[in-house]
Chains A and B, each alone.
Chain A
Amino acid sequence: MSKSVSSTRVPLYVLVLGLIGAGLFLTFYRHYTFDVPWLPDAKRQIWSIEAKVEFEALGQPVKLSLAVPDNQPGFERVSEHTASPGYGLAFVDEGVKRRAEWSIREAKGRQTLYYQVDMLFDEDSFNVTEGVPPVIETVTYAGPEQTAVTQLLQRARARSADAFTMTRELIAEFNNETQLAQLLVQQKSRERRLVEMLNLAGIPARVVQTLFLEDGRRRQTLVSYLQVFSGDQYALFDPQTGQQGQMENQLLWEQNSSSLLDLVGGRDSAVTFSIISQEVPASRIYQEKVAHLKNAMDFSIHSLPLEEQAMFKGILLIPVGVLVVVIMRILVGIRTSGTFMPVLIALAFIQTSLITGLVGFFLIVGVGLMIRSYLSRHNLLLVARISAVIISVIVIIAAFSVLAYGLGLAEGLKVTFFPMIILSWTIERMSILWEEEGAKEVFIQGGGSLLVAVLAYLVMINPIVRHLMFNFIGLQFVFMALVLMCGNYTGYRLSELRRFKHLVQER
């Protein structure tokens, strides 16, 4: 007669596909754009570096500018902060030069300013050595200096093939020809001389200030290196040994041939570095990074205050529990008492831990059933009886808590995490079931509920599941689609294969 309920399922499939598509898109988007890893234990190394600037203020306006590191191959800046009470602060990007600038109207005496930066080590990009070469500056020499320079350059050129080998050979010459070298470094530093000579040979190069990152190091200082370019590829050279290449723990703190520190209105300045290394879950790095990506499309719970995040951690897991219940009921065919009671029990288990939870559940439901069977003798109306059971459950929980505390079992206090109203209904249902269908049905349904609850608990407690659900909101759409798909499953349940098996196995 009425075929009103839509007989075509196409719109549903479209919806399911749409949800899965949207969910996966959001998930992959987050993975690629925000670098949120798939697995929770993907720990990454963060170097926290603190630059401590000390100087003597002269009682005048102070202006202080410190070179600070920027993103570079191998290192990504995840966060930076400063501690400088009373000082105005600005970060200036002059072209490629990044500097922190402090200023104050008046300061006197010993001043200490801190700049802290967290650099994320990124193995993948470490070997990328690309950069913008500096402009070649030609310096003219005279007298003995010119002779020395020409001699060194000639010999080095003769034994080299390209910019990098040329640099290596030049440093080698510098080390061999001690007398010539002596002459050249009288006026300028060895690094400066090397850069000048390379420039003279038409090779772009500059001096960079590098910091060797060692965990737990304090009072570390910068070390000058040569950055030599061939095209847009560069290589680092140790100006003393000619050793080519960058160490994995070598950070380019300043790479624009400018000074580390400019100070006006003070004297006796010094910069020292303290370094610690941390192995941080990648998700935390993301948290720190998000502050810098405010304008980007962000579907993350991480943009909420920490307190709300903690709350969502639980809520976002519920779909997982719900899916477990749906699968167990629709695909497996396990009977539970109350549709989603198992999820609530599972959530309680998360709070209490499994063993405590199970013991608590059996104690409460067991004692509750005893009280309920006593109440049933008194011929009460249903509402009154349920209310009485709720009150008993509360009393039982209170009693257990006090008892457990008295016995020094802090674990026992966790029984308060159980949803009391739900437990009361469970007790009432089970006792009716007991009266009507006998103990067997109580064990089937009670056991079924508990089994599903434990399964849901095990899935919800899984660190990978927790990580994925918390970090990829898109998965909620996928779960929605899965639930819809289950709701559309017209095949047999696992339990039905058993129930009807003998119909096809006779003869």
Chain B
Amino acid sequence: MNLLQYWRERTVYGRLAGKGILGMNCRNIRYISRYNPRTLYPLVDDKLKTKTLALEHGVNVPDLIGVIDNQHDVRKIAKMTDGIPGFCIKPAKGSGGKGILVIDRVVDGVYYKTNGQPISLQDIQRHISNILAGLFSLGGKTDFALVESLIKVDDAFRQFTHEGVPDLRVIVFRGFPVMSMMRLSCASSKGKANLHQGAVGVGISMDTGGAVRAVQSGRPVTHHPDTKQPLSELVVPQWIGMLELACACYDMTGLGYLGVDLVLDKNRGPLLLELNARPGLSIQVANNAGLLPRLRRIESIKKPEKFPIVERVAYSRTHFAAQSDL
């Protein structure tokens, strides 16, 4: 047994490398800086630009109710949302769930957040002011607020979420979907579907859309912590449609290494929620699989742009299938 073999089999470093786990440095150098031209970043870092682009390319997105881009218009929020039962206010340049305010219902001029907590119009206006001042944007740059219609959770996910809307993250590499996971909000994540805030991440097999494995705060789980629903029963409906939507996002942005966040709306079907040019690495933990072998496989394809979306989806479904651990 030589040293190299020892390193590969006995050290954490070597075994991670053997499993093809993608690290932060490698992601930044080999994939993001190589496949994501800087000039394209604004398309995804600004949610309004993403939305406009999506509409141009026929990609479905949650309806935009309005945009508030200056302090003077903050008062208009009441009129803007007049008669709309639920909406969501978010900073255009926010990330990681920061500054997202979801209003579930409005009863007699009182607004209610998803967790049932009432909130006054004044609070909402202050929240918008904070968004405009850049409190939630990177580097504190001034920002504007998007007002979106509420996404209604599809029945298939009802039992798998607590308060928030679950979303599907798909990593799309050079137009091919390579790995995916569902993020389920729960009580400990305060209704937010962001993993580092305590949401449950569920690895999804690329062929069927069925769950393979689930983790919460880095630890494996088998049931949703609040609804107690066995996660093995989770299957993403309209799976092929979801993957095709994800591929279309690559075609419209040109970003080679892309994280696509999709939601399934009860009425409108798969919608694009947001795009990410620096998608995180936790998806590997949720899937208990490394990204590197899949990325290398796609890298070896000579002319990926020759494949139409349907073929790309088919390719990924045959090559990136996984057995369920649940």
Residues of A within 8 A of B (CB): 1-5, 7, 330, 333, 379, 381-383, 386, 428, 432, 436-437, 488-493, 496-497, 499-506
- The answer to whether B25 and A504 touch across the interface, beta carbons within 8 angstroms, is no
Residue of A nearest to B14 (CB): A504
Residue of A nearest to B325 (CB): A506
Knowing A1-B174, A432-B135, A502-B218 touch, does A496 contact B24 (C-beta < 8 A)? yes
Knowing A1-B305, A2-B35, A5-B37 touch, does A489 contact B25 (C-beta < 8 A)? yes
In the assembled complex, which residues on chain B have CB atoms less than 8 Å from the CB atom of A496? 16, 23-24
Q: How far is B137's CA from A382's CA once the two chains are assembled, in angstroms?
A: 11
Q: How far is the CB of A350 from chain B (nearest CB, A)?
A: 28
Interface residues in B, total, Cβ within 8 A: 40
- The answer to whether A379 and B23 touch across the interface, beta carbons within 8 angstroms, is no
Q: Which of B26-34, B81-89, B238-246, B314-322 contacts the other chain?
A: B26-34
- The answer to whether B34 and A3 touch across the interface, beta carbons within 8 angstroms, is yes
Question: Most chain-B Cβ atoms within 10 A of its Cβ — which of A2, A4, A489, A501?
Answer: A2
Q: How far is the CB of B58 from chain A (nearest CB, A)?
A: 20
Q: Choose from A3, A379, A488, A501 the contact partner of B12 (Cβ within 8 Å).
A: A501
B222, CB-defined interface residue at 8 Å: no
Q: Choose from B23, B140, B197, B218 the contact partner of A492 (Cβ within 8 Å).
A: B23
Knowing A496-B24, A502-B218, A503-B285 touch, does A382 contact B16 (C-beta < 8 A)? no
In the assembled complex, which residues on chain B have CB atoms less than 8 Å from the CB atom of A330? 25
Knowing A1-B305, A2-B254 touch, does A497 contact B16 (C-beta < 8 A)? yes
- The answer to whether A491 and B129 touch across the interface, beta carbons within 8 angstroms, is no
Q: Choose from A381, A383, A499 the contact partner of B129 (Cβ within 8 Å).
A: A381
In the assembled complex, which residues on chain A have CB atoms less than 8 Å from the CB atom of B276? none
In the assembled complex, which residues on chain A have CB atoms less than 8 Å from the CB atom of B268? none
B15, CB-defined interface residue at 8 Å: yes
- The answer to whether A493 and B254 touch across the interface, beta carbons within 8 angstroms, is no
- The answer to whether B25 and A490 touch across the interface, beta carbons within 8 angstroms, is yes
Q: How far is the CB of B255 from chain A (nearest CB, A)?
A: 8
Knowing A497-B16, A503-B288 touch, does A383 contact B25 (C-beta < 8 A)? no
- The answer to whether A493 and B37 touch across the interface, beta carbons within 8 angstroms, is no
Residue of A nearest to B30 (CB): A490
Q: How far is the CB of B142 from chain A (nearest CB, A)?
A: 8
Residue of B nearest to A5 (CB): B34
Q: How far is the CB of A1 from chain B (nearest CB, A)?
A: 6
Residue of B nearest to A3 (CB): B34
B133, CB-defined interface residue at 8 Å: yes
In the assembled complex, which residues on chain B have CB atoms less than 8 Å from the CB atom of A4? 37
B294, CB-defined interface residue at 8 Å: no
B19, CB-defined interface residue at 8 Å: yes
Residue of A nearest to B255 (CB): A1
Complex interface bits, B121-142 against A, C-beta within 8 A gives 1, otherwise 0: 0000010011001110000101
Q: Choose from A1, A3, A383, A493 the contact partner of B23 (Cβ within 8 Å).
A: A493
B146, CB-defined interface residue at 8 Å: no
Residue of B nearest to A501 (CB): B12
Q: How far is the CB of B37 from chain A (nearest CB, A)?
A: 5
B13, CB-defined interface residue at 8 Å: yes
Knowing A379-B129, A497-B12, A503-B284 touch, does A490 contact B23 (C-beta < 8 A)? yes
- The answer to whether B133 and A382 touch across the interface, beta carbons within 8 angstroms, is yes
Q: How far is B34's CA from A488's CA once the two chains are assembled, in angstroms?
A: 13
Residue of A nearest to B127 (CB): A379
B98, CB-defined interface residue at 8 Å: yes
Knowing A5-B34, A7-B34, A330-B25 touch, does A492 contact B174 (C-beta < 8 A)? no
- The answer to whether A500 and B24 touch across the interface, beta carbons within 8 angstroms, is no
Interface residues of B in 1-48 (CB under 8 A from A): 12-13, 15-19, 21, 23-26, 29-30, 33-35, 37
Q: Choose from A2, A7, A383, A503 the contact partner of B21 (Cβ within 8 Å).
A: A503
Q: How far is the CB of A15 from chain B (nearest CB, A)?
A: 16
B256, CB-defined interface residue at 8 Å: yes
Q: Choose from A3, A5, A504 the contact partner of B16 (Cβ within 8 Å).
A: A504
Q: Choose from A1, A381, A493, A502 the contact partner of B25 (Cβ within 8 Å).
A: A493
- The answer to whether B21 and A500 touch across the interface, beta carbons within 8 angstroms, is yes
- The answer to whether A492 and B126 touch across the interface, beta carbons within 8 angstroms, is no
Q: How far is the CB of A389 from chain B (nearest CB, A)?
A: 12
In the assembled complex, which residues on chain B have CB atoms less than 8 Å from the CB atom of A493? 23-25
In the assembled complex, which residues on chain A have CB atoms less than 8 Å from the CB atom of B23? 490-493, 496
Interface residues of B in 263-294 (CB under 8 A from A): 284-285, 288
- The answer to whether A436 and B98 touch across the interface, beta carbons within 8 angstroms, is yes
Q: Choose from B18, B129, B284 the contact partner of A500 (Cβ within 8 Å).
A: B284
Q: How far is the CB of B74 from chain A (nearest CB, A)?
A: 11
Q: How far is B29's CA from A5's CA once the two chains are assembled, in angstroms?
A: 10
Q: How far is the CB of B247 from chain A (nearest CB, A)?
A: 13
Residue of B nearest to A441 (CB): B196
Knowing A330-B25, A381-B133, A491-B23 touch, does A5 contact B33 (C-beta < 8 A)? yes
- The answer to whether A497 and B13 touch across the interface, beta carbons within 8 angstroms, is yes
- The answer to whether B256 and A492 touch across the interface, beta carbons within 8 angstroms, is no
In the assembled complex, which residues on chain B have CB atoms less than 8 Å from the CB atom of A490? 23, 25-26, 29-30
Interface residues of B in 165-192 (CB under 8 A from A): 174-175
Q: How far is B304's CA from A2's CA once the two chains are assembled, in angstroms?
A: 11
